[in-house]
Amino acid sequence: MNTQISKNNKNKSMTNRKYSLTVGVALFFSCTIIYAGNPERAGQAGATQLLINPYARTSGWAGANQANVRGIEAQFWNVAGTVFTKKTEFYFSRTEWLVGTGININTLGFTQRVGEVSALGLGIVNINGGNLVRTTEDQPEGGMGTFSPNFLNLSLSYARMFSDDIYGGINLKVVNERIPGVQATGIAIDGGIQYHTGKYKQAHFGVSIKNWGPKMQYRGDALTFQSLTTPYPQYQRTVQNRSAFFEMPLAMNIGVAYDFNLTNDSIIDGIRKHRLSVAANYLSNSFTYDNYLFGLEYAWKERVMLRAGFQAEKYIFDSTKRMTALTGPTAGLTIEWPMNEKRSTIAFDYSYRFTNPFGGVHTFGFRVNL
């Protein structure tokens, strides 16, 4: 009887592995066929705020760790990592985006373990675009006050453990952009697979697709105007402009990471005393240059973590040709401390991304793991 049960469990595990690997391969080849990075299309996509990483930990090492990202931050890079939530995780962060522009990003996240092999996640990202001068055709210099663009991304995710090594997930996003009188709303889907192997699960591989969805279009009363008919007799009529449809900023990630235990007694009660992780991620963008992300993270007892990273792309060192204000280097740190014997923790995160122009990007994060 026990032998039969063991065989059934083994067959089930092999089936899950085959299914997960099939999904991973499908994600990889579908993305490769759809696009392979096209800078000539730069500026043709909309909802590009979906490419902004609002989280402190992952941005501290340039997002290189999508192969082993865990918890609520995995909703942005590789949703499969949300399944590593121990029980419940709460997260809040504040990002000062391109200091000097007045743009701020507030992020609120929540993940919940469901059963032994699944996790649900909810993420809210709100971007305040700062104050812009209101202008019209008749008053191009302003004098009519200001307005503030607003961007809101809502994410609902589900992740599952298919075997001891393979994890997968899917993330549904609702995207809204608005200014007074005009707004656009759309939906997008992310999908991801992570594979962890080795004696201590120290080797990691991940692939994910982000922002796949239908085109969006702006609508609203501000797209209408009054005009007079010609020739005589003239009368006033209302004319409605239609904005063009625009595509989502589809992207694909392929990443690897490896954890080094720096001393022989590094793992005590399941906690690494001294860990050094190295990671690399290839980010293929459909509307701009592809990115190559590299990062390092040192952790002492998983309580104090220091990070450094670099985001490389074509012309990154040439300010006259690069397509981003980010200049490459990133850095960050985390202080995470246990609250009780059940290893519930409270953590403070910080990251800095170098930019030119503007004064860089600061992200402050606070999280509770129960």
Q: What is the 3-state secondary structure (H, E, C) of 210-259?
A: EEECCCECCECHHHEEEEECCCCCCCEEEEECCCCCEECCCEEEEEEEEE
Token code pair at residue 247 = 């595509």
Token code pair at residue 130 = 């700062």
CB-based burial, 206-221: b 16+ in 10 Å, e otherwise: bbbbbbbbeebebeee
pLDDT for residue 349: 98
Q: Is 11 exposed, middle or buried (0-12, 13-18, 19+ CB in 10 A)?
A: exposed
**pTM for this model (two decimals):** 0.86
Is residue 4, in this structure, part of any structural domain at all?
no
Token code pair at residue 149 = 């663009």
Contact (CB, 8 A) for 249 and 236: no
Is residue 344, in this structure, part of any structural domain at all?
yes
Token code pair at residue 340 = 């009780």
Element (H, E) at 363: strand 361-369
Give strand ranges (E) for 262-358.
267-268, 271-272, 274-285, 291-300, 304-313, 326-338, 345-355
pLDDT for residue 42: 67
Residues 64, 93: Cα–Cα separation, whole Å:
20
Give strand ranges (E) for 98-234.
103-114, 118-128, 132-133, 146-147, 150-161, 166-179, 182-197, 203-212, 224-228
- Give residues with Cβ within 8 angstroms of 218, minimum separation 6: 177, 182, 183, 184, 243
Is residue 2, in this structure, part of any structural domain at all?
no
Type of residue numbered 98? L
Is residue 77, in this structure, part of any structural domain at all?
yes
Is residue 5, in this structure, part of any structural domain at all?
no
> 10 Å Cβ neighbour count for 22?
11
pLDDT for residue 240: 78
Q: Which residues pair with 331 in a beta bridge?
A: 308, 352
Q: Which domain holds residue 17?
A: 11-369
Contact (CB, 8 A) for 78 and 69: yes
Return per-residue pLDDT of the chain as tens, 370 residues: 444 444 444 555 555 555 545 544 444 444 444 444 566 666 677 899 999 999 999 999 999 999 999 999 999 999 999 999 999 999 999 999 999 999 999 999 999 999 999 999 999 999 999 888 988 877 888 888 899 999 999 999 999 999 999 999 999 999 999 999 999 999 999 999 999 999 889 999 999 999 999 999 999 988 887 777 776 677 777 777 888 899 999 999 999 999 998 877 656 666 778 999 999 999 999 888 999 999 999 999 899 999 999 999 999 999 888 889 999 999 999 999 998 877 899 999 999 999 999 999 999 999 999 9
pLDDT for residue 17: 53
Write the CATH number for 355: 2.40.160.40
Is residue 1, in this structure, part of any structural domain at all?
no
Sign of the Cα pseudo-torsion (215, 220, 223, 229, in order): positive
> Considering its fold, how many domains does the chain have in total?
1
Residues 316, 335: Cα–Cα separation, whole Å:
31
Specify the length of the chain in residues: 370
Is residue 3, in this structure, part of any structural domain at all?
no
Contact (CB, 8 A) for 149 and 129: yes
Residues 115, 20: Cα–Cα separation, whole Å:
19
Is residue 6, in this structure, part of any structural domain at all?
no
Residues 286, 342: Cα–Cα separation, whole Å:
44
Residues 104, 96: Cα–Cα separation, whole Å:
5
Strand 203-212, strand 224-228: pairing:
unpaired
pLDDT for residue 33: 41
